[in-house]
Amino acid sequence: MTNSDTESPAEALKAFFRNHASGVAIITGRSGDDSPIGFTATSLTSLGTNPPLVSFNVAQGASFYPHLVEGAFVNLHALAVENLELAIALAGPREERFQSANWHRDSNQVPVFHGATAVLHCKILKVVEVESNAVVIVQALDGFAGDGSTPLLYHQRAFIAGGKILKSNAK
Protein backbone atom coordinates (compact mmCIF):
# COMPACT_ATOMS: atom_id res chain seq x y z
CA MET A 1 0.00 0.00 0.00
CA THR A 2 1.13 3.49 -0.82
CA ASN A 3 0.15 5.76 2.03
CA SER A 4 -0.77 8.95 0.25
CA ASP A 5 -2.08 11.20 2.99
CA THR A 6 -4.99 13.14 1.61
CA GLU A 7 -5.47 16.87 1.84
CA SER A 8 -8.96 17.45 3.23
CA PRO A 9 -11.75 15.33 4.72
CA ALA A 10 -13.65 15.56 1.41
CA GLU A 11 -10.55 14.43 -0.52
CA ALA A 12 -10.04 11.61 1.98
CA LEU A 13 -13.64 10.47 1.46
CA LYS A 14 -13.27 10.53 -2.32
CA ALA A 15 -10.01 8.57 -2.15
CA PHE A 16 -11.64 6.02 0.15
CA PHE A 17 -14.62 5.45 -2.15
CA ARG A 18 -12.45 5.16 -5.24
CA ASN A 19 -10.95 2.13 -3.49
CA HIS A 20 -14.27 0.75 -2.21
CA ALA A 21 -16.09 -1.13 -4.99
CA SER A 22 -19.90 -1.05 -5.25
CA GLY A 23 -22.57 -3.02 -7.04
CA VAL A 24 -24.31 -1.05 -9.79
CA ALA A 25 -28.10 -0.77 -9.76
CA ILE A 26 -30.85 1.18 -11.49
CA ILE A 27 -33.68 2.82 -9.60
CA THR A 28 -36.84 3.80 -11.47
CA GLY A 29 -39.98 5.69 -10.54
CA ARG A 30 -42.49 8.05 -12.08
CA SER A 31 -42.81 11.79 -11.97
CA GLY A 32 -45.93 13.82 -11.19
CA ASP A 33 -46.90 13.94 -14.88
CA ASP A 34 -46.39 10.18 -15.14
CA SER A 35 -43.12 10.37 -17.07
CA PRO A 36 -40.71 7.50 -16.41
CA ILE A 37 -37.73 8.53 -14.31
CA GLY A 38 -34.64 6.60 -13.33
CA PHE A 39 -30.96 6.73 -12.49
CA THR A 40 -27.90 4.56 -12.00
CA ALA A 41 -27.00 4.12 -8.32
CA THR A 42 -24.16 2.54 -6.38
CA SER A 43 -25.62 3.00 -2.90
CA LEU A 44 -28.23 0.24 -2.58
CA THR A 45 -27.95 -1.67 0.65
CA SER A 46 -30.15 -4.00 2.65
CA LEU A 47 -31.63 -2.69 5.90
CA GLY A 48 -32.93 -5.95 7.31
CA THR A 49 -35.50 -8.52 6.28
CA ASN A 50 -38.14 -8.18 9.00
CA PRO A 51 -39.65 -5.96 7.70
CA PRO A 52 -37.76 -6.17 4.38
CA LEU A 53 -36.15 -2.75 3.90
CA VAL A 54 -33.56 -1.26 1.58
CA SER A 55 -31.76 2.08 1.78
CA PHE A 56 -30.12 4.20 -0.89
CA ASN A 57 -28.59 7.68 -0.88
CA VAL A 58 -29.37 10.59 -3.17
CA ALA A 59 -28.42 14.25 -3.44
CA GLN A 60 -31.33 16.57 -2.74
CA GLY A 61 -30.30 18.46 -5.87
CA ALA A 62 -30.94 15.43 -8.13
CA SER A 63 -33.77 15.77 -10.66
CA PHE A 64 -35.25 12.55 -9.28
CA TYR A 65 -35.38 13.86 -5.71
CA PRO A 66 -38.74 15.72 -5.67
CA HIS A 67 -40.45 12.45 -6.72
CA LEU A 68 -39.00 10.44 -3.84
CA VAL A 69 -41.89 10.91 -1.47
CA GLU A 70 -43.37 8.61 1.16
CA GLY A 71 -45.73 6.08 -0.42
CA ALA A 72 -44.31 6.40 -3.96
CA PHE A 73 -43.40 3.20 -5.78
CA VAL A 74 -39.88 2.55 -7.07
CA ASN A 75 -38.26 -0.43 -8.78
CA LEU A 76 -34.72 -1.50 -7.95
CA HIS A 77 -32.70 -3.38 -10.59
CA ALA A 78 -29.52 -5.34 -9.85
CA LEU A 79 -27.24 -5.28 -12.89
CA ALA A 80 -24.97 -7.82 -14.56
CA VAL A 81 -22.12 -7.18 -17.00
CA GLU A 82 -24.63 -7.58 -19.87
CA ASN A 83 -26.35 -4.42 -18.57
CA LEU A 84 -23.35 -2.14 -19.01
CA GLU A 85 -24.99 -0.02 -21.74
CA LEU A 86 -28.08 0.36 -19.59
CA ALA A 87 -26.00 1.50 -16.62
CA ILE A 88 -24.27 4.09 -18.82
CA ALA A 89 -27.56 5.26 -20.37
CA LEU A 90 -29.25 5.76 -17.00
CA ALA A 91 -26.29 7.86 -15.84
CA GLY A 92 -26.44 9.96 -19.02
CA PRO A 93 -28.70 12.75 -20.33
CA ARG A 94 -32.19 12.54 -18.83
CA GLU A 95 -34.03 12.74 -22.16
CA GLU A 96 -32.19 9.67 -23.46
CA ARG A 97 -32.62 7.40 -20.47
CA PHE A 98 -35.80 5.69 -21.64
CA GLN A 99 -35.11 5.67 -25.39
CA SER A 100 -34.34 1.96 -25.43
CA ALA A 101 -37.30 -0.32 -26.03
CA ASN A 102 -36.25 -2.67 -23.28
CA TRP A 103 -38.65 -1.65 -20.56
CA HIS A 104 -42.32 -1.73 -19.68
CA ARG A 105 -44.45 -0.21 -16.94
CA ASP A 106 -45.55 -2.44 -14.09
CA SER A 107 -49.03 -2.31 -12.52
CA ASN A 108 -47.99 0.80 -10.57
CA GLN A 109 -46.85 2.47 -13.81
CA VAL A 110 -43.21 2.29 -12.69
CA PRO A 111 -40.65 1.28 -15.36
CA VAL A 112 -39.11 -2.19 -15.26
CA PHE A 113 -36.01 -2.69 -17.40
CA HIS A 114 -35.82 -6.11 -19.02
CA GLY A 115 -32.66 -8.12 -18.62
CA ALA A 116 -31.70 -6.94 -15.14
CA THR A 117 -30.40 -9.77 -12.96
CA ALA A 118 -33.01 -9.08 -10.28
CA VAL A 119 -35.84 -6.61 -9.80
CA LEU A 120 -37.33 -5.56 -6.47
CA HIS A 121 -40.63 -3.66 -6.39
CA CYS A 122 -40.66 -1.26 -3.44
CA LYS A 123 -42.61 1.52 -1.76
CA ILE A 124 -40.92 4.50 -0.12
CA LEU A 125 -41.25 4.32 3.65
CA LYS A 126 -39.20 7.29 4.76
CA VAL A 127 -36.83 9.96 3.43
CA VAL A 128 -34.21 11.06 5.96
CA GLU A 129 -32.63 14.36 4.97
CA VAL A 130 -28.99 14.74 6.00
CA GLU A 131 -27.31 18.02 5.07
CA SER A 132 -27.67 18.37 1.27
CA ASN A 133 -28.28 14.64 0.74
CA ALA A 134 -30.88 12.10 1.84
CA VAL A 135 -31.13 8.47 2.86
CA VAL A 136 -34.22 6.95 1.23
CA ILE A 137 -35.69 3.93 2.98
CA VAL A 138 -37.97 1.68 0.93
CA GLN A 139 -39.97 -1.40 1.81
CA ALA A 140 -39.76 -4.45 -0.50
CA LEU A 141 -43.11 -5.65 -1.85
CA ASP A 142 -42.15 -8.41 -4.30
CA GLY A 143 -39.66 -9.15 -7.03
CA PHE A 144 -37.97 -11.69 -9.21
CA ALA A 145 -34.37 -12.80 -9.53
CA GLY A 146 -32.26 -14.62 -12.08
CA ASP A 147 -29.70 -17.30 -11.57
CA GLY A 148 -26.49 -15.48 -10.90
CA SER A 149 -24.94 -13.62 -13.83
CA THR A 150 -21.56 -11.90 -13.45
CA PRO A 151 -22.27 -8.70 -11.49
CA LEU A 152 -21.56 -5.19 -12.76
CA LEU A 153 -19.46 -3.12 -10.35
CA TYR A 154 -18.00 0.35 -10.04
CA HIS A 155 -14.42 0.79 -8.78
CA GLN A 156 -11.66 3.35 -9.36
CA ARG A 157 -14.01 5.42 -11.61
CA ALA A 158 -14.60 2.43 -13.91
CA PHE A 159 -17.30 -0.13 -14.52
CA ILE A 160 -15.74 -3.52 -13.84
CA ALA A 161 -16.93 -7.12 -13.93
CA GLY A 162 -17.12 -9.43 -10.94
CA GLY A 163 -14.14 -11.80 -10.93
CA LYS A 164 -13.20 -15.15 -9.48
CA ILE A 165 -14.73 -16.71 -6.38
CA LEU A 166 -12.32 -16.63 -3.43
CA LYS A 167 -14.45 -18.29 -0.74
CA SER A 168 -18.06 -19.35 -0.89
CA ASN A 169 -20.50 -19.54 2.02
CA ALA A 170 -23.27 -20.97 -0.16
CA LYS A 171 -24.68 -24.30 0.95
Residues 70-99 that bind its own copies (CB under 8 A): 76, 78, 80-81, 84, 88
> Of 32, 33, 34, 48, which one interacts with its own copies (CB under 8 A)?
48
Q: Minimum Å distance from CB 91 to its own copies?
A: 9
* CA neighbor of 40 nearest in space, from 26, 30, 29: 26
Residue 117 within binding range of its own copies, rule CB under 8 A: yes
Between CA 98 and CA 89, with CA 139 as vertex, the angle to 5 degrees is 20
1 binds its own copies (CB under 8 A): yes
Non-local CB neighbours of 62 within 8 Å, separated by 6+ positions: 39
Q: Does 43 bind its own copies (CB under 8 A)?
A: yes
Applying the rule CB under 8 A, the residues between 131 and 170 that interact with its own copies are 131-133, 135, 137, 139-153, 155-170
Q: Are 97 and 89 in contact (CB under 8 A)?
A: yes
